[in-house]
Structure 1
Amino acid sequence: MFSQLSRRPWLIAIAVSVVLVLWLLSGALLKTQETASADAPVQAPGLAKVEVQWLQASPMQREHVVQGQVEAWRRVELRSQISGTVIRLDQDKGSPVKQGQVLLSLSTDNRPAQLAKGEADVRQREADAKAAARLRERNMISTNELIRLQSELAKARAELDLARIQLSHTQITAPFAGMYEQRMVELGDFVQPGQSLLTLVDISLLKVSAQIAQQEVTQLTLGQPVKIELLDGRELQGELHFIAAAADPDSRSFRIEVKVDNAQALRLAGASATLHIQTGESLAQRISPALLSLDKAGRHGVKWVNEQQQVVFTPVQLISVDNQGAWVSGLPNKVALITLGQGFVEPGQQVISQLAKGSN
């Protein structure tokens, strides 16, 4: 073979050229790989990657939103104090009534006679007591006799008062102005003491009651304005007039009541409503509720990345929730919130963060 190549020197030149080209290409490739390795970032093995979004806090009104129940300002169930027959329905149920107006009448039976007898007994006892007092001044009767007659007078007066009360109970009157809401008896019914007769409600004012969490009740003050949102979209304005001094033992929440003026006598008692209670301005960020998580103590919070590229968990307070997201407070004014991968990292863990697409 060598003798053949020696007779054809042009083949030697071609072979040498191919070797040189391959050597040059291998060197250039090696240099390219070294350059690429030098330019590539050094990544420690095992570091998790997360996406973050920078959030800046902005001022907003703190607001507690709770579900409540609209109630009549006053509601009373009137019961019979005596036995008797319903002889007259003085007012129709569903009608407005004034304080002191007769709503229903019961039979008087022998009560007028008992009243007349009581009045006569009192007149007789008064005359006896006066005569005895004059006789005592002349030492014509004993002190004990005078005291006995005076005691009989006092007893007669007490019986007269009782007869008057019994007779007054035959007419059921309105203890306050309101609406004749319900009647439990009909004309001719015989009723016993303690039996329910009718219901009277006062809706000139309304109260909206709700339960508020124990961690939020300290932010409330009596007299502060409250917006009431009804199911049909109407809004009413009221003020907080009652905060329970003790929490409900079962729910650990506090009952609150909001007073609402109802000059138009709107029939709202018994309806559901949403209470919006503003408690001042604070700095907050809007986040997706899906980014909220719980720590080992059961507190709501979010995870973010600090300057050392470490995961931090910060408990937050939920201020309000709407269709666009949740407003929370408690985070730094500017924070790199983890938006992707928060479920796979733990507080204190070193991570590699990168801005989420579309973030500034």
Structure 2
Amino acid sequence: MRLFSILAAAVVVLFLAFFILDRPRFLAAFGGQPEPEATQSQETEAAETQQTDADLVKVMVRKSKATQVDSAVILRGQTEAARQVEVRSETSAIVISEPLRKGARITEGETMCKLDPGTRQAMVQEWRARLKEAESRVPESEARVEEARARLEEARINQNAASRLNQDGFASQTRVATADANVAAAEAGVSSASSGLRAALSGIESATASIAAAEKEIERLTIKAPFSGLLESDTAELGSLLQPGALCGTVIQLDPIKLVGFVPETEVNRVTLGAQAGARLAAGGSDVTGDVVFLSRSADPQTRTFRVEIEVPNPDLAIRDGQTAEIVIASDGVQAHLIPQSALTLNDEGTLGVRLVDAENVVQFAPITLMRDTADGVWVTGLPATADIITVGQEYVTAGVRVAPTWEDLSQ
């Protein structure tokens, strides 16, 4: 029995060896059909392909489609008064008005400080008297000019007659010389009379100018508000002496109020005049809206940013000057992809982007531009409308390498 078991085992081993090592001949011997050579070749290629895929780097890939996203320029800035001016004295005098207290509303043209006129009114009266005196001399000077011109005309007639008589032998040379002298004297008289008239007219102009200067000096004694607003400081105290340039008070206008921010040069082309803007104030968290009214054409030399101003209505004066604000300026929408922040990578040149796979599962690098950061990921631009983005494993592959992708579930 033992010998039979050994022989049976040897036969089974030979059978299996013959079946494995020479399968086509074995099938022919037992009436089977050998496998075609093409089938064997396909099995060989499949085996090689299976082994090659096993050697590829496995990555996680997400199919992303671009979405129209409302674009906005986000800034951090502050509120600023539409107007603020320090009203100062233009003359020297004592304040004779009661002071207005800071915080009080003031209207355009309202008196802020009134100064003592002193002798200024007397100076006006003096110059007016001089004006009348100069005006009274004008008729007399004009009459003297007319009289001098008449004498000149008479002297010229006598000169002409004496010259003709002398030619005919009826007048001496002495008479001609006398006539010439009279003409010269008459011309001098005309010149003197004209000078007197010009002096009278100059006196009128001088007196008129002095009156205007004295009246302007009197106007400067009343310091008025240049525009409606609020007093940011007390006006000058009663009895204080104001010299030219001394402060009477500070007026500030808060309606409308401005939101001021600084746009980086990479974003400045996305901001346009008239664009709608909103802001959230740090104090109280209130939201306000307005329009862009100014965009600087010159960059700050230190920060390379551009000043932008937004005008916001403030009828109740609830917004104060100098409050911090988060500003959002509307811009044209763009096509963007929402991707995980972890999918971002750098190429060998240090360019920020993502790695994609094409139809042949070959890795490609695509540079991107960050648009906005959210809790769900980052919005980026610069990719095609549909992109297969490597979200896991992008750091282990480079452009041109073939990978074995695993696709994320679309419901994720």
For the aligned pair, the TM-score class normalised by the smaller chain equals 0.7 to 0.9
1:99 aligns with 2:108: yes
| Contact 2:372-2:378 within 8 A present in 1 as well | yes
C-alpha RMSD over aligned residues: 3.4
- Report % sequence identity: 28
Please list every run of 5 or more consecutive structure 1 residues that lacks an aligned counterpart in the other structure.
Answer: 1-9
What is the deviation of 1:358? 7.1
2:72 aligned with 1:63:
yes
Structure 1 counterpart of 2:2, which letter? L
* Mapped partners of 1:249, 1:211: distance in 2: 12
The offset of 1:101, in angstroms, is 0.1
Q: Quick one: structure 1 residues 300 and 186, their matched pair in 2 at CA, closer, same or farther if it must change by over 3 Å?
A: farther
What pairs up with 1:194-233 in 2 under 5 angstroms? 194-231=245-282, 232-233=284-285
Question: Closer, same or farther in 2 for the Cα pair 1:257/1:39, shift >3 Å?
Answer: same
TM-aligned CA distance change 1:187 to 1:41, over 3 Å: farther
Q: What residue in structure 2 maps to residue 321 of structure 1?
A: 373
Pair 1:243-2:292 in alignment:
no
- After superposition, give the CA deviation of every residue in 1:53-90 in whole Å (9 maximum; x if it has no partner): 11111122121111122111111111221223333234
Matched, 1:13 2:7: no
- Name the TM-score, length of structure 1 as normaliser: 0.82
Further displaced range: 183-192 or 89-98: 183-192
> Quick check: which has more Rg, 1 or 2?
2
TM-score, with normalisation over the residues of structure 2? Answer: 0.73
**Aligned counterparts of 1:321 and 1:39: Cα–Cα separation in 2:** 45
- Supply the AA of the counterpart residue of 1:61: D
The reply to whether residue 276 of structure 1 matches residue 328 of structure 2 is yes
| Kept in 2: contact 1:129–1:153 (CA 8 A) | no
Measure how far apart 1:92 and its partner are.
Answer: 2.1
Instruction: Give the match for residue 125 of structure 1.
Output: 134
Aligned mate of 1:259, from 295, 311, 314: 311
- Aligned to 2:333, the other structure's residue is in SS state strand
> What letter corresponds to residue 11 of structure 1 in structure 2?
R
CA distance in 2, matches of 1:313, 1:273: 39
Structure 2 residue runs of 5 or longer lacking an equivalent are 24-42, 149-189
Q: CA deviation at 1:321?
A: 2.8
Paired residue total:
348
Report deviation, 1:136: 3.5
Which residue of the partner structure matches residue 163 of structure 1? 214
Residue of 386, 400, 403 corresponding to 1:334 = 386
Displacement of 1:16: 4.3
1:97 deviates by 0.9
Structure-2 change in CA distance of 1:127 and 1:218 (3 Å): farther
CA-CA distance at 1:222 after TM superposition: 1.7
Structure 2 contact 100–234 (Cα < 8 Å) conserved:
no
- How far apart in 1 are the matches of 2:14 and 2:122? 137
Structure 1 pair 152/348, CA: closer, same or farther in 2 (3 Å)? farther
Opposite residue 259 of structure 1, the aligned amino acid is E
Alpha carbons of 1:48 and 1:108: their partners in 2 closer, same or farther (altered >3 Å)? farther
SS of equivalent residue, structure 1 residue 343: helix
Q: Which residue matches 1:287?
A: 339
**Cα distance between partner residues in 1 of 2:320 and 2:390:** 46
- Equivalents in 2 of 1:355, 1:65: separation in Å? 35
The answer to which structure has the higher helix fraction is 2
Query: CA, structure 1 residues 223+18, in 2 after alignment: closer, same or farther (shift >3 Å)?
Result: same
Structure 1 window deviating more from structure 2 (102-111 vs 200-209): it is 102-111
CA distance in structure 2 between the aligned counterparts of 1:184 and 1:334, rounded to whole angstroms: 67
Q: Which amino acid aligns with 2:120?
A: R
Query: Which is further off, 61-70 or 312-321?
Result: 312-321
